[in-house]
Amino acid sequence: MPKYIYEYPDWTKFTWKDADIHALFGEVRHLQGKIYGQMHMLGFEARQSVALDTLAFDVLHSSEIEGEMLNPDQVRSSIARRLGFPSGGLISSSKQVEGIVEMMLDATQNFRNPLTHARLFAWHAALFPSGYSGMHKIEVGQYRTGEMQIVSGPMGQEKVYFEAIPAAQVQTEMDRFIQWFNQENSLDPVMKAAIAHFWFIIIHPFDDGNGRIGRAISDMLLARADQTRDRFYSMSSRILVERKQYYKVLQEVQYSQGDITDWLIWFLRCLHNALLSTLDTLTKVFQKVEFWKIHEATALNERQRFMLNKLLDGIEGKLKSSKWAKMAKCSPDTALRDIKDLQEKGILRQEAQGGRSTNYELVEF
C-alpha cells in the first residue's frame, strides 16, 4: 500500500513544475483582470445582480457537491438581506441556509481578516446549527477527536479511499496551516488558493463539512487575488460540473511524495473554465443593458417587459404563444396580442423555419 502524502517527512513543503503551469496560470490572471474591467463598465444595479447570482450559485453548488440540495429562493433571500440588496417580498430562510450563507459571506466579504482557529470553528458551527450531520451527531465547532476514513460504495461493500491525518496530530497540523495561511509571502494568492484547498482537505480537521470549508478558504484567497468583495465567478459551480475529476485528482495526488503539479493544473483549469463561463454571462448582461437602452422609451406593458427579460436571459426551447401565455400568466389571446404588438415594434419576429407551429425570436439589435 503506498504512503499518504502526510506520512512523508516535511510533507507540507509542496513542490510543482513551474513550466507545466506557467501558461495556464498566466491565462487565469489575464481573464480575472478582463472580468474585473468589464464588471466596472456595468451600472451599479447590474453589478449587484451579477454579484448576487454568483454568491447564490457558490452557496448552492458547494452544498450540492456534498449531495445537499438547498432552497435557491431562501439562499438568494438570505444573501440579499445580509448585503443590503433589494429584497422586498423575498422569503425567510432556514437556520441551515442562514448558517451556510453566513460562512460564505464571512470568507468573501471579510477576506482581509486573518484566518484563525476560532473563525474556522465559527464556520463549522454555522454549517451544523443542530449539531447533527443528517442523522449523525457530530463534534461541532471543534476539531475532530476521532479518526477519519473517507469511504465510498454500497453498504457492506465500502472501500476506503482516504484515511485522514490521525486525530492526535490535527491541532499541530492546523497550527502550521494557519500560520502559513496568514504569512505575507511572494506566493500569488491564486496559487495560494489552490495549495490551501489541497492542504486543508488532506488534514480533514472536522467531523464533517471539510469540503465546503475548504472551498470557502479558496474563495477567501481568490477574493484577495481580485482585491474586491464583489464575486463575479463561482469556483464551486465549476467544481460541481467537474466533480468526478475533482475527487479523482485529489485521490491521486494524496499519494504523491510532495509534488502537487497535477492538482495545481486541475485547479487552474477549473478556475479558467469558471472565468470563461462568467465571460459568457457578462456578454448576455451587456446585451440586456444595451437592449433596454435602445428601448427605454418604447411603450411596453409589464407582461412584455417580463417576457423580454426572460428571452434576453435565455429560455429553454422555442417561444410559442402558448409558452408566453403560461409564463406570463395570461390568456392565449392576450399572449398573441402582446407578441403581435412586439412584432409591429420590430422587437420580435417569426422564426424562418416555420413548420406546424409558429415560433418567435428576438430581432437582432
What average pLDDT does this structure show over 206-226?
A: 95
**What pLDDT does residue 352 have?**
77
The mean pLDDT of the chain is: 91
What average pLDDT does this structure show over 167-181?
A: 97
By mean pLDDT, which of 102-106, 148-152, 257-261 is the weakest? 148-152
Please give the residue range of the domain that contains residue 317.
299-362
What average pLDDT does this structure show over 69-86?
A: 90
Do residue 269 and residue 310 come from a single domain? no
CATH of the domain at 322: 1.10.10.10
Do residue 249 and residue 318 come from a single domain? no
Res. 88: pLDDT tops 60? no
What average pLDDT does this structure show over 147-163?
A: 74
What average pLDDT does this structure show over 206-222?
A: 96
Strands 136-137 and 132-133: antiparallel
What average pLDDT does this structure show over 186-195?
A: 95
Is 352 a domain residue? yes
Helix/strand/coil for 241: helix
Do residue 232 and residue 352 come from a single domain? no
Chain-centroid distance of CA 88 in Å reads: 25
Do residue 265 and residue 162 come from a single domain? yes
**What pLDDT does residue 89 have?**
55
d(CA 165, CA 202): 7
Long-range contacts of 181-190 (CB under 8 A, 24+ apart): 181/114, 181/115, 181/217, 182/114, 182/115, 188/25, 188/29, 188/225, 189/221, 189/222, 189/224, 189/225, 190/25, 190/28, 190/29, 190/32, 190/221, 190/222, 190/225, 190/268, 190/271
Confidence of residue 248 (pLDDT cuts 50, 70, 90): very high
Summarised one tens digit per residue, pLDDT across range 67-76 is 889 999 999 9
Res. 87: pLDDT tops 70? no
